[in-house]
Structures are given as structure tokens and as C-alpha cells.
Structure 1
Amino acid sequence: MAPGTVLAGKERIEAALMPSTPAVPTQPLAPTSAPRAEVKAVMPQPALVQAAGADGNRTFRLAQTKRRVPGQAPVEERKRERRYDPNAAKPPQPNLPREFLPVPDRWRIIDAVGVVPKWWDPYNQNYIKGDRPVFGKDWFVNLTLISDTVIEPRLLPTGISPNGIGRAGTNDVFGDGDQMVYNQLLILNMSLIKGDTAFKPPDIEIRFTPVFNVNRLEARELGVVDRDLRDGKTRDDDFIALQEVFLDYHLGNLSDRYDFISIRGGIQPFSSDFRGFLFQDNQFGLRLFGNYDNNIFQYNLAWVRRLEKDTNSGLNDVTEPLRDDDIFIANLYIQDVPMLGFVSQATVVHNRNRESDRSLFNVNRFIERPASFGDERPHDYDVTYVGFNGDGHFGRANLTLSVYYAFGEDDHNQIASSPQGDKSDISAWFFAAEPSVDFDWIRLRGSLLYASGDSDPFDDEEEGFDAIFENPQFAGGDTSYWIRQGIPFIGGGGVALTQRNGVLASLRTSKEHGQSNFNNPGLMLYGMGG
């Protein structure tokens, strides 16, 4: 057999068993250049390959797939004897589909290791803060208790009552403005939620938030705590309010990224912009909201009918009829417009007020509607606000921006009233911007606000900007004296220059009870801080 010859089939086995004497195959072999497919077709048996080394000596290699003894028939491989160990772990199943195995829900896994949660422990899982279902597989309860205590000594411009004085021997326009306020709030927030809120919006949420209030006011002058001077200089009051009572229903998902659409009805919180310049309150209404395109767009459509407020606490009074004051809101938020990291919002708000048919005195016997200002006649108005708001950053620079234009009609101008007709057109502007830059732990911030004023209150145009119910977080917020305190308009009747927790010089009785007033001097505010 010549060197390099390849044997196939039965001849290879016979050649392997023959002595090493030269042998001639009984049939010529196929050339080595035969197609590879033909070689594969004859390879099921062990192969014998004869090759010649460099020194010319013949070397044979035998590749076998089964162990065998020459001259004997092949036998099956003996099975290995295995010893049984009762303590050994069972081998895993081959190709185990672990991701499809049913497992207990993630809230009850700790039961398997014997952990017993305590309902009063806020640092570990319990039932009352929404960690584990209270019944079923996805019904949760979330209870929150908040105590808010304010003790506020303050000094306010205080006028002398024309009906009497509180300190003998004094007679002036301004009296002693020292006051002390104590206000205690106990807020109980209760939510019943259906759904896995960690990864998608809840399917159903029912929220109930009662608020318990105790307040005390100490003044140095008569006619401050009550219009009746016999009530003295100190007033104690308490009140129970409902700040939230609503049902939130998840209508459906719009994509696999949980873009959703929901509807919410009842007493609920709402803010028309980022900083609460126009409307921010808990009021009764109906709201359709959601997002789209992987949360790039967020939208709100809302109708609100305002509740009366308790005078001394400022909380909702559900025992009184709803006000004839409707608010219609539509807004759209867009992420990363005009650039990455900045959120833009366009909004349209319409306020329809029809409260000219009845007057209102608050619990302290001061008139609220109509305002004791001008001819003190009731009025209706329709005003529409068109606005653009933005919040975000451009690199290291942060920016919050708000622009509003208000237009509409007031059926009675309290100052410019005349027999020929006293309707007025409303046309007013508002602008606020707060740029800031961060340096490590310091934020350098600037504030600029402009609200247009009425240059001629006796004409048929009202050009002073006023909000619906403002609660601005701007220029220091409630740490600013101008925003925190309601500054009375001395000598101007029962109206205030500014409202408590308000920034506009609106000349209205109060933002809780009063109507919007577009006959005002306007405001320009600027400042810097850190």
C-alpha cells in the first residue's frame, strides 16, 4: 500500500487486523481529489489512515469511536456504578426555563424566611404605607399623617378702627401692628390603590384627606380679629376640612412604555404652571390627563368649580354651596424643547365668574363680595389667560419662565361706573423669570417679575393683571415678607394691597373669598439671592 493512500469501508478494518506484510487492495481507491461528500458518506466506521513521515517510516493511526479488543466483537460500554448519597443535592434539570417559573409575589417573599412585619414600623415593610396588599393581590392602602405647626410673630401696618380704639390716649391713622399667630394643622392622607404602582400608573386610586385645624390670633388693636369691636383683640378658632376627596381611574395604556390616559373626579390638587402664578389650589373638578410618546408629551384637560373657603384657616368649606365661579384649563407639556433638559408648557385658562347675584360676608363679619372698593357693586366677568411656561436648564444655567396675557370683559368697572354703561375690556400682561447658576453647594439666583398695571382706572379698559388663586414659589416664596404677609390697603376700604402667600398687588378683599380685580396698580419686582 503506497504512502498517502486512504482506505475506506470494510477494507480499512481488515487492513488494521492483518499482519504488517505488504498487501494490495482488491479494488482501487477513489482519488484523493474526490468530492468531500463522497468521503463523508463512507465514514461511519472507525478510520485507518496511513501516512509517511519525513524519515520514510510507515506510521498508522487508528481512530475508533468505541472501545474494542482486536479479534472480538465490539461490546457496549459498561455503565459506571454510582453510589447514592442521601445528603447530596439533586442535579439541576437541563434547559431549565427559569424566567417562566411561577414565584410568589414580591411583597410576600419575606414570609418564606419568617419575617413578621410590624404595622407601626415606618422603616420596614408594612400594610399601612403601601408596601404589601391589604386584600387581593394588588389592593394597597397608604396612610400618611402630617403635623404642621406655625408660630408667627409679625408686624403689619394696622389701621385704627373708626368705631373705637384699643388703647386709651391714642388717635392716629396707624395703630400698633404687633400680632401673634398660632396655627396647627393635622393632615391625614388616606389612599386606596389598585395596581402595581412601582412600574406603571395605578389602575384605581381613591383618596380621602381630612384636615384638622386650630388657630389663634392676638392683635393690639380692635377691629382686627372681628368687625364687632366687642370681640376684643384675641380670636380662637378651629375647623375640620376636606382637602382631597377624589377617584382616579386609569382608562388605559397607549404604548408598551406605559404612556397612559386617566380621569380624576372630585376635590383634587391642581397647578396651572410650574410656580403657581395663576392657579394652584385644591378644588372640586374633573380632570382628564396623561402622557404620550414615551412621556415626551404630558397633557391636562380640566374643569374646576371653586369651593368656598373657611376664613381663618383658609381650608375648603364643603358645608357651603359651590361658588358660581368656573375654570376651564387646557395645557400641554413638552420635554426637551427647545433643547435637552428644558420642559416647555403651553396653556389656555378661561375663568367664568357669575357671582353678581349675591354678596358674601366672612365669618369675621367683613364683606368679601363685592369688594368694598369703588362703588361697591357686584359684577361678573369672563377672562381668558394664554400662557407659556418653561422650566429646566441650559448647561449649568437654570431657568424658570412664565408669560401670560389676559383678555376678556368685566360687566362692571367699580371705579369707572357711569350711567352710559360701565363695561370694561380686560387686557393685561404678566412676566416672571428666575435664572440661576449652581456652584458646588451654592445656587446664585436672580428674580424678575412684571405685572401690568392700569394707568387710567377711570376709562373702559382694565389693564392690571390679576390671577385666579395664586400661590407663588418665587423670589424666596413664603420666606419673603412681601409674599408671606397680606399687606392691608390702609384707607382704601376692606381690601388688601397684597394677599397672604401672594405676590400680585391686586387690591382684592382676599384670594380665598374675593373676585379677581383687574383695576390695580401692577407690580415690578426684582432681586438676587442664593
Structure 2
Amino acid sequence: MQRQMTGAFRRLLLGALLASACGFAPDLAAQTVERQRPGATPPSEIEERKPLSSAIQRRVAPPTRKDPSNIAPIPDRWRLIEAVGVEESILDPYNRNPIKGDRPLFGTKDWFINILAISDTVAEPRSVPTPVGIQSSDDAGDYDLFGDADQFIFNQNFIFSASLIKGDTAYKPPDLEFRLTPVINYNYADVQERRVLYADPRQGTERTDTHFALQEAFVDYHIRNVSDRYDFDSVRVGIQPFSTDFRGFLFQDNQLGVRFFGDRDNNIYQYNLAWFRRLEKDTNSGLNDVDRKLREDDVFIANLYWQDFPSLGFQSQVTGVYNRNREGDDFFFDNNNFIQRPSSFGAERGRNYDIGYLGYNGDGHFGRLNLTTSFYYAFGNDRNSTFTNEDVDVSAFFAAAEPSVDFDWVRLRGSLVYASGDDDPFDGTHTGFDAIFENPQIAGSDTNYWIRQAIPLIGGGGVVLSNRNAMLPSLRGSKEHGQSNFANPGFRLIGAGADFDILPELRLSTNLNYMQFDETAVLEVARNQQDISRDIGWDLSAALIYRPFFSQNIVFRLSGAALFAGQGIKDLYGEQNGDDDMYYTVLANLILTY
């Protein structure tokens, strides 16, 4: 019986194939099922059946190679999405936008353009220890060293950036990139005492200034790929951003240079080899000033990043830096006619120096513990010592760490910083650590009063105790124009902070830091004053950061900070401030990004 059924099935299948070849196909499938299933419903009672596919119902001849009617043109992969109704908009920076690198330029296959525009607005009332003298006081009979500390600063930057990029950058670095980033700056300052803004007291207590800067102007060339995972070697030439570490402790700036960089082993290792010849800065904006001649200050850098070392999720970096400065014969006055090189401090003579830095930096996490850490050792030779005019050796240390832990919408942070100070400026070895051009991101960064403000060393020369957007008390004329100085008091900081994500678009960041000088011998010599305490004081700050669109397109920050002066600050500046021992800053910052 089974053999008879099998033979019948074969005959039916053969008939179906013959019928298909002749252009007709009876419902053989249904007949086969009915014959194999005794008692099945007769064909007349079966409901209307679904038709077979058109390929079975009729024979379709394959298209010939030369028949253009069977070929449908398809747009490239960037414009194909337009066929489903997705449109472009130049005004929208986050969805498809032809000037944000979302498709090639017309008439090209792999050239893209990316346009960026930023408005950065800062309004800042503050109080800073302010010097005053006979020639600079508006108050008859006021010959005190200290004047009214209140000041107001307004700063506006319009930043434009254009990149022309060649290559498919979705999976590999660009083959070629040209970038240009000009900045238009307007700044205004209002203080209460003369000779704060200008060396000439006749120029008053208000200043309005503008500046046009070039912060980026480079060519990036992709030399080669070295693996099928797009490990690569590239070179970048021109004015470009660079940071020697994760938090800007040693050198973070936009400078003119040549940089070779790339990666290996699926991006596990990344390297940089760079040389920078430093540009001069504009005094009042802090931006690059390409109209002035280049400084005789060279920075050579070699570093290596190692992903997931020593643990998965942690990145280690080793770096070597050589700073060669030959500005010993340079006399430089800034835009406000204050002398910057040589600094008006100690012997007031120009200096040449050769300083090497060896460092280790780490960033990442060990389980729930987040950690950023940094360590540098500075060594070398400094000619014309600040106080002796003799050659001295340099041997100084720096260490910093920021551990943090996340608890749902709260992050708790700690901050530790140590920079060695010089305990004897006459012993032939300077042990005060100084950076090349620091922009530290720790302990509240520029929300912190000590980091945010430049505090002058009144009565100790024309230098500042702590520079603006800097942490180390390096006793330079300014961070922008001055030379590194390794005869300084050093620095200690221990702090705690917390970040609260109150809303997805609103964050509250708080910080409390206690600070000390490491050594005060240099301050005592400079001020000809004994027994200056190490105690700088407490720095309390808080900032609200609001992002209404959950992105970086609109960011508003309102912050406030206060320095509660310790005995060391009181020894240097007395209790001349209205609140006896408190200085403040309030910062309102609006950033609009396209």
C-alpha cells in the first residue's frame, strides 16, 4: 500500500512539473494531500484557496544583459534615505545636515564639510586683593597697600570652525583634513583702583578691548593604515589643540606645531610625537596672537596610551616632555604695558632653562570606583636663578588624584593635589614644581575661586600668586606671557565634592577644598617678611548647569565661589577686605553651539 501511494505521488509531481513548463498548474498540492489522507474533505467543499506565487503561475524569462528597461538607478547611500521621506535641514545640527558631514559635497564622492559655530558669554562680578599706591589712588591721603577689591568682567567669544574632510570616516580616520577656527573676542573690565588694568594710571579703571584670534589652522594627513582594523599613522601640521594628560595639569593649549600620532593593536595603544613652538597670547582675552613673533619656547612631547591596563576599563599613559626656553634676552611688555619677561620678581633678569618632565597618568575605573591620577617629576637646569643669578638645578614633583563613586543620580568625588615647593631659594637647587601651560580640571576647576582668579602678590614684585585658570602658585607675571618659575612655594589641596543630577537636564556640582602652601621660604624672601603661614584657606563653590535640550547646543551655568582666607593669606594681604577674610566670585556663562 505504501509503495502504491509513493508511486502515485511521484507521478503527480512529474505531472505538475510538466504542467508548469507548459504554462498551466492545476491544484496538485491539494489533490496530493487529499489522496494521502483518507476521509479528507472533498475538493468541492474546500474553501477558496490562496493562489500560488506568480513564479509558478507563469514562466518569466530572465532579463538580458543589454536590456536597460530592467535596470533601476539607486542613489548613493547618503541620499538613499531621502527616498523614504527623510529630509535635510541646514538649521538642524543633529539630524541630517549637509554642512555637518552627513553627505559628500555635490560633485564629489568622499569630500565632506563640517561647520561649527559657538557663542560663549561670561559675566563675572568678583573681589580680588587689589594693590594701590600714591600714584594710583583716587582717594586723597590713602597710601595703604590695598584698595577696593570689587571688580566686574564681561567676556564674549564668537567661535567659528570649518573642516574640509576627505575620506569615509565612519570606520577609519580621514585621509585628509583641513581645519580653520577663528575667534572674535570682546571683553570689558571695570575695577575700583588705578594701575590694575593699565600700567599708566591716567588710563583709568575701565577697559574695553577686542581681539581676533586663530585657535586652529592645521592640515591632518593620513599616512597609512597598518592593519585591517584601521590602526593608522597620521601627521598634523599647524595650530592645533593638545594636552599632555587627561586633566590639563602640565600642558594644554592650542599651539603651532607638528604632531605624529596613531594607534596599534585594535586601538589598544595610542601614541603621540609632537613639537610645538609657542605662540604669544593676547593679554586681555588669553587667545592666540598671531601678529606677534613666535616665542623662543619649544615643547617636545612623546607619550603612549595603553587601554585596559592594568585593569579592564582603565587607561594608562606614560609621557616624556622637554621644555627648551631661550627667552633670557627677551624684554616683553604686554598689551597694557606691564613687563612680563623678565618678570618683575627677585633679580628681574631674563632666564634660559632646559626642563624635562617624566610622567604617568591614568583614567578609568576599577569596578565602581572611578579614578583619575597624575604624577610628574621635573628635572633640569635653570640659568640666572630668580634670586642668585646663578645656574641652579631643578628637581620637583607633582601628584594629583580624583577618586569618585556613583550612586544612582549622585557622584561623590575626592580631590588630592601636591606640588613640591622650594624650601631654600639660595641653595643651588629649585624644588618648586611649575607647569608649562596648565588648565587644570580638578577640585571644581574654574568654578573654584583659587583656580578661577589671578591673585597678585602685592608688595612682592609684579607677579601673581596664582594665575587665572591655573592652580600652582608659580609666581609668574602671567600664565599667558610668563616663563616657568621653579622658585615657588608649592601647593597642597585636599577636597571633596558631589554632583547631583537633579533632572536629566539640570546638574548641581559642589566642592569644598582646603589648601596650603608646601613651603613659604620664597614668599618670605620676596616679601621680606617672616613667619608666613602655609594656610591658604577654604574654597567653597557650587554650580548649576542647565541643558534644556539634553545636549550641548544650549548650556547655561551659574556658579558662585568663596575663598575663606587662612592665616597665610591674612599674613600676605591682611584683613583689608570688607568681610575681613572672604573673597568671592559669581559666574554666569551661556554657551550656544551649532
Q: TM-score range by the shorter chain?
A: 0.7 to 0.9
In structure 2, the partner of 1:313 is 285
The alignment status of 1:426 with 2:394, answered yes or no, reads: yes
The alignment status of 1:63 with 2:7, answered yes or no, reads: yes
The alignment status of 1:494 with 2:438, answered yes or no, reads: no
In structure 2, the partner of 1:341 is 313
Per the alignment, do residues 81 and 224 of structure 1 end up closer, same or farther by CA in structure 2, a change over 3 Å counting?
A: same
In structure 1, the partner of 2:250 is 278
* Counterpart-to-counterpart distance in 1, 2:188 and 2:127: 16
In structure 1, the partner of 2:550 is none
Counterpart contact for 1:133–1:139, Cα < 8 Å: yes
Q: Cα RMSD over matched residues?
A: 2.6
* Counterpart-to-counterpart distance in 2, 1:182 and 1:62: 95
In structure 1, the partner of 2:171 is 199
Q: CA deviation at 1:277?
A: 0.2
Q: CA deviation at 1:91?
A: 9.5
Q: AA paired with 1:108?
A: R
* Counterpart-to-counterpart distance in 2, 1:61 and 1:391: 75
Question: 1:123-169 deviations in whole A, cap 9, x for unaligned?
Answer: 43122111111130111111111000000000000011342303344
Per the alignment, do residues 75 and 60 of structure 1 end up closer, same or farther by CA in structure 2, a change over 3 Å counting?
A: closer
Gap regions ≥5 residues in structure 2: 26-50, 63-71, 499-594
Per the alignment, do residues 121 and 434 of structure 1 end up closer, same or farther by CA in structure 2, a change over 3 Å counting?
A: closer
- Equivalences for 1:25-36 in 2 at 5 Å? none
Per the alignment, do residues 178 and 430 of structure 1 end up closer, same or farther by CA in structure 2, a change over 3 Å counting?
A: same
Question: 1:365-408 deviations in whole A, cap 9, x for unaligned?
Answer: 10000010111011100000000000111111111110100000
* Among 61, 77, 91, the residue aligned to 1:106: 77
Counterpart contact for 2:362–2:373, Cα < 8 Å: yes
Per the alignment, do residues 370 and 91 of structure 1 end up closer, same or farther by CA in structure 2, a change over 3 Å counting?
A: farther
Please, what TM-score do these two structures have when normalized by structure 1?
Answer: 0.82
Counterpart contact for 1:454–1:519, Cα < 8 Å: yes
The alignment status of 1:294 with 2:266, answered yes or no, reads: yes
Matched residue SS, 2:456: coil
Question: 1:75-116 deviations in whole A, cap 9, x for unaligned?
Answer: 994445449x9x97999999xxxxxx9953221113435655
Q: AA paired with 2:375?
A: V
* Among 444, 450, 460, the residue aligned to 1:476: 444
* Counterpart-to-counterpart distance in 2, 1:155 and 1:265: 42
Q: AA paired with 1:216?
A: Y
- Equivalences for 1:389-404 in 2 at 5 Å? 389-404=361-376
Q: AA paired with 2:7?
A: A
* Among 219, 243, 252, the residue aligned to 2:191: 219
Counterpart contact for 1:158–1:176, Cα < 8 Å: yes
In structure 1, the partner of 2:412 is 444
In structure 2, the partner of 1:266 is 238
Counterpart contact for 1:283–1:307, Cα < 8 Å: yes
Q: CA deviation at 1:358?
A: 1.7
* Counterpart-to-counterpart distance in 1, 2:17 and 2:118: 80
Counterpart contact for 1:167–1:221, Cα < 8 Å: no
The alignment status of 1:509 with 2:481, answered yes or no, reads: no
In structure 1, the partner of 2:562 is none
Matched residue SS, 1:63: helix
Counterpart contact for 1:67–1:77, Cα < 8 Å: no
Question: 1:152-197 deviations in whole A, cap 9, x for unaligned?
Answer: 0000000113423033443311100100000000000111011112
Matched residue SS, 2:466: coil
* Counterpart-to-counterpart distance in 2, 1:486 and 1:471: 13
Q: CA deviation at 1:511?
A: 1.1
Per the alignment, do residues 207 and 67 of structure 1 end up closer, same or farther by CA in structure 2, a change over 3 Å counting?
A: same
In structure 1, the partner of 2:565 is none
Counterpart contact for 2:272–2:301, Cα < 8 Å: yes
Q: 59-68 vs 251-260, which deviates more?
A: 59-68
Counterpart contact for 2:379–2:394, Cα < 8 Å: yes
Q: CA deviation at 1:260?
A: 1.1
Corresponding pairs, count: 457
Counterpart contact for 2:321–2:357, Cα < 8 Å: yes
Matched residue SS, 1:230: helix
Per the alignment, do residues 93 and 230 of structure 1 end up closer, same or farther by CA in structure 2, a change over 3 Å counting?
A: farther
Q: AA paired with 2:482?
A: G
Per the alignment, do residues 120 and 339 of structure 1 end up closer, same or farther by CA in structure 2, a change over 3 Å counting?
A: same
Per the alignment, do residues 266 and 81 of structure 1 end up closer, same or farther by CA in structure 2, a change over 3 Å counting?
A: same
Question: 1:319-344 deviations in whole A, cap 9, x for unaligned?
Answer: 11110100000000001111111100
* Counterpart-to-counterpart distance in 2, 1:191 and 1:199: 18
Counterpart contact for 1:166–1:220, Cα < 8 Å: no
Q: CA deviation at 1:239?
A: 0.4
In structure 2, the partner of 1:3 is none
The alignment status of 1:459 with 2:431, answered yes or no, reads: no
* Counterpart-to-counterpart distance in 2, 1:509 and 1:162: 22
* Counterpart-to-counterpart distance in 2, 1:392 and 1:134: 39
* Counterpart-to-counterpart distance in 1, 2:74 and 2:88: 21
The alignment status of 1:161 with 2:133, answered yes or no, reads: yes
* Counterpart-to-counterpart distance in 1, 2:153 and 2:301: 35
Q: CA deviation at 1:253?
A: 1.0
Matched residue SS, 2:451: helix
Matched residue SS, 2:465: coil
Counterpart contact for 1:246–1:266, Cα < 8 Å: yes
Q: CA deviation at 1:222?
A: 0.4
Gap regions ≥5 residues in structure 1: 1-49, 52-58, 69-73, 95-100
Per the alignment, do residues 91 and 527 of structure 1 end up closer, same or farther by CA in structure 2, a change over 3 Å counting?
A: farther
Per the alignment, do residues 371 and 138 of structure 1 end up closer, same or farther by CA in structure 2, a change over 3 Å counting?
A: same
Counterpart contact for 1:416–1:459, Cα < 8 Å: no
Q: CA deviation at 1:415?
A: 0.5
Per the alignment, do residues 427 and 162 of structure 1 end up closer, same or farther by CA in structure 2, a change over 3 Å counting?
A: farther
Q: CA deviation at 1:120?
A: 2.6
Per the alignment, do residues 61 and 384 of structure 1 end up closer, same or farther by CA in structure 2, a change over 3 Å counting?
A: closer
Counterpart contact for 2:361–2:375, Cα < 8 Å: yes
In structure 2, the partner of 1:369 is 341
> Which structure has the bigger radius of gyration?
1
In structure 2, the partner of 1:233 is 205
* Counterpart-to-counterpart distance in 2, 1:247 and 1:131: 21
* Counterpart-to-counterpart distance in 2, 1:151 and 1:461: 43
